Amino acid sequence: MQDLLYFLQQLINGLTIGSTYALIAIGYTMVYGIIGMINFAHGEIYMIGAYTALIAITGLAALGIAWLPLILIVALVCAMIVSSSMGWAVERVAYRPVRGRHRLIPLISAIGMSIFLQNYVHLAQGSRNIGFPALIEGGFRFGSADSFQTSISYMQITIFITTLICMTLLSLFISRSRIGRACRAVSQDLGMASLLGIDTNRIISATFVIGAALAAVAGLLLGMYYGSIDPLFGFIAGLKAFTAAVLGGIGSIPGAMLGGLILGVAESMTSGYLSGEYKDVVSFGLLILILLFKPTGLLGKPEVEKI
């Protein structure tokens, strides 16, 4: 019974982290699906989302507003607006001019952008950890009081629900809306879509904006969950999310969701049963293994090399 409760606890923690990874991974997978590049600066956009959310929360607190739902919604909207604008601008400045060149060129440009954004926030806000107030406290506990208790906090429930809402909205958007249909067309065949009258530049911008907005949601949620943020925390999270995207099959949106959850659970199991220090080793090791043995991921389509 004890063991089962402990296992359940790790599972819950893993799914919590995993669902935020999935939110970030969407940005990677959509961009990759459409223009075939790794948006290296995506982790930084997520970090900027977290900073904006924190600025909005402290700003509202300074104004004396204490009604929790209002604070959360305002922080979320602010973070989404700033991150989306950032995503749009990054695509415009760093990626559009180099689109269609040799594969390495957009990638190096993206690394440059990532370093730039990291240092932009570092210079503006300092390099220290900043505490993120825990706005949502408390939770449920299971199990007898004298032994190990499985707990699930309200924060974790919030993360699940928010992720679920975002994913549902995204799926509806992609499958039903006009832009979503255009997105799917562009990702199948960019040239053909353009011939058929789709403004591909706009669709590519839209993908960056959507990915960035979801990353901002993840930024707010993870910031609250971890309780502190710093300018470098986007880098590792971005890498993890990329792993999740590859795991699920890059280019596939359901794949990114699945990959995020699997990665989150794998990580929390490692820290629960082995040691917390090695969880990054496990996720990078997982990434290397997938790329070696199944580069198309779990739900991805095989890529044909054309001459």
Rounded least distance, CB 85 to another protein, Å: 4
Binding site residues, another protein, CB under 8 A: 37-38, 48, 51-52, 54-56, 58-59, 62, 78, 81-82, 85-86, 88-89, 93-94, 97-98, 101-109, 111-126, 128, 130-131, 133, 235, 239, 242-243, 246, 275, 277-278, 280-281, 284-285, 287-288, 291-292, 295, 305, 307
Rounded least distance, CB 252 to another protein, Å: 16
Cβ-based nearer residue to another protein, 125 or 200: 125
Cβ-based nearer residue to another protein, 123 or 164: 123
Cβ-based nearer residue to another protein, 53 or 257: 53
Rounded least distance, CB 117 to another protein, Å: 7
Cβ-based nearer residue to another protein, 137 or 305: 305
Burial of 280 from C-beta contacts in 10 A (0-12 / 13-18 / 19+): middle
Rounded least distance, CB 295 to another protein, Å: 6
Rounded least distance, CB 204 to another protein, Å: 16
